[in-house]
Amino acid sequence: MARQTDRLDMSVPFQPVNIAVMTVSDTRTEADDRSGDLLAARIAEDGHVLADRAIITDDVPKIIERLQSWVEDPQIDVVVTTGGTGLTGRDSTPEAFDAVVEKEIGGFGELFRMLSYQKIGTSTVQSRALAGVAGGTYLFALPGSTSACKDGWDDILRYQLDIRHKPCNFVEIMPRLSESSTTRRGGRCLICRSSRRSPGR
43-56 confidence digits (pLDDT tens): 999 999 999 999 99
Q: Distance between CA 193 and CA 74 in Å, rounded?
A: 7
Rg of the Cα atoms in the chain: 16
Would you list the DSSP string of 160-179? HT-TTBSS--TTTTGGGTTT
Q: Is 81 helix (H, G, I), strand (E, B) or coil?
A: strand
- Cα distance between residue 159 and residue 16, in whole Å: 12
For the CA atoms of 74, 148, 33, 20, what is the dihedral angle to 10 degrees?
A: 0
Q: Cβ neighbours of residue 17 under 8 Å, at least 6 residues apart?
A: 48, 49, 77, 78, 161, 171, 174, 199, 200
* DSSP-derived pairing of the beta strands 184-185 and 188-189: antiparallel
Q: What percent of the chain has pLDDT over 90?
A: 84
Domains and CATH numbers, the chain: 17-190 (3.40.980.10)
pTM for the structure as a whole: 0.88
Q: How confident is the prediction along the chain (201 residues), in pLDDT tens digits per residue?
A: 456 777 899 999 999 999 999 999 999 999 999 999 999 999 999 999 999 999 999 999 999 999 999 999 999 999 999 999 999 989 999 999 999 999 999 999 999 999 999 999 999 999 999 999 999 999 999 999 999 999 999 999 999 999 999 999 999 999 999 876 444 344 333 333 444 446 665
